[in-house]
Amino acid sequence: MPAIVIGADTEHGAAIARALTSRQGEVRAFITDPTSADALRQVGIKVAIGDVSDASHIEGAAHEAFTGVAIAEAADDDRERSFAKSAAEVAEGWLGALRAAGVRRVIWVGSAEPAGVSTWPAEFALIDPTTAPVGEVADEVVRLDDLGTLDPNRD
């Protein structure tokens, strides 16, 4: 099933996108830094380049993806953001874009859940990237993406 990694031009995002190519299904990357594109494309990842605060661009890139992996660092690092003033606004835009694109599972890679996730109608998981090495975080994202459900009360 298709997956998109928002912020695949961060260390965690690139590792996660590459790790996701080990399973079946299309992998997409949303990046800001065009110099990161070739390395991702060389391993079969489809790349969209744009402003991470442009929710409409993210929505288009995520169209009909099953899983959206959001790298919180990309909402708050030193990259330019023309459509939002804060990391919280960027995160809100990401959630809205993923919802509008039909994404059914969100894996948030950050130290805290974004505001508004409690109203998210899809499955949600939080991975704190500060608790393990980059490779282990990427492996955990792949493991979660492979699960039938993230809801422990459903099979």
112, two tokens: 């805290």
Residue type, 105: R
* Span 132-144, pLDDT tens digits: 999 999 999 999 9
Helical ranges in the chain per DSSP H: 11-20, 37-42, 55-62, 73-76, 87-100, 134-146
Domain covering 3-146, topology? Rossmann fold (3.40.50)
Average pLDDT, the chain: 91
Where along the chain do its domains lie? 3-146
Q: Report the percent of the chain where pLDDT is more than 90.
A: 72
Q: Which of 50-59, 118-127, 143-152 has the highest mean pLDDT?
A: 50-59
Q: What is the pLDDT of residue 152?
A: 59
